[in-house]
Structure 1
Amino acid sequence: MLRVEYEATESLPPGQLVDITESRGRVDVKIRQDADAHEYTAALNVALKLFLADCNWFQIWRGRVISAHSPDSPLTVEYQVDDQIDRRKCVEVRESCGHVVVHVARSATVADFVNAINPSTEAFLAGGQWFQLWQGEIITMDSPGSAAA
């Protein structure tokens, strides 16, 4: 099973807003809980760009395998503060051929964001179009025994 889990935290070093760690079938994203939407979306954009450049996650899009190194359409994740997103909804995830955009309500606290993005990400990954290459093993939503189970 694949899982991306976001967490609001106070335990990041001073000046660090986001920390991303990867393990078999899992990505953990910690966000400093006192950051505002502009701060944490900017920090997530930087951290995810670095993470994707060095990880082995892939999307299957209309029969094509998309990675961060795909020349025509590299796998990217972008977070955008969006005035059109209601705080009650908090996030809206859109994707197209390896480009994932997470629209975030301007007034969303980190706690709001985490509470909304975790179920959204779970549903997104459940679509079965994503996989991770972990130490020579292909991990999908159907893989047993992953750290995400």
Structure 2
Amino acid sequence: MRHYLVILVLLTFCSCAEKIGIKETITTENAHLVTDFDENDIESAVTYYFASRIRKDDKWKLAIPSSSEWSSRMKYSIDKHNKWNFVEFKNLGLYEGEYGTYVKVFIMIEMDGRRDGGEDDVELKKKNGKWVISKVPI
């Protein structure tokens, strides 16, 4: 009996300690492993946002500014995301573009039984000295 208890404790500890990196592919099978993000690391927030979308929970709201701060472009994008079924995501990295700073991402969605995916950019801006998501891709 004691051996079973030790094994159960070890299995519980191992499953709780399991994490996934911010640049690994996130799918419906592993999105539950993305349990938090570093608010000082914008790439971490981007990964958390999409993992939440894949999990179909509302925790993605924690990774973006309050809705009162959204531009009309951000509102439109969020409305689209609310209608999509996200199935896969990969953070491809932070970069400086011609018009600002972005995180390049790969997203796979499913709509009406069809899957479609591709690369796009998450737009960022500085607020109070920190990067925040200013627009998610559509």
TM-score range, shorter chain: under 0.3
Q: Which has the larger radius of gyration?
A: 2
Point out the structure with the larger helix share: 2
What TM-score, normalized by structure 1, do the two folds share?
0.23
Q: Which has the higher contact order (CA 8 A, sep 6+)?
A: 1
What TM-score, normalized by structure 2, do the two folds share?
0.24
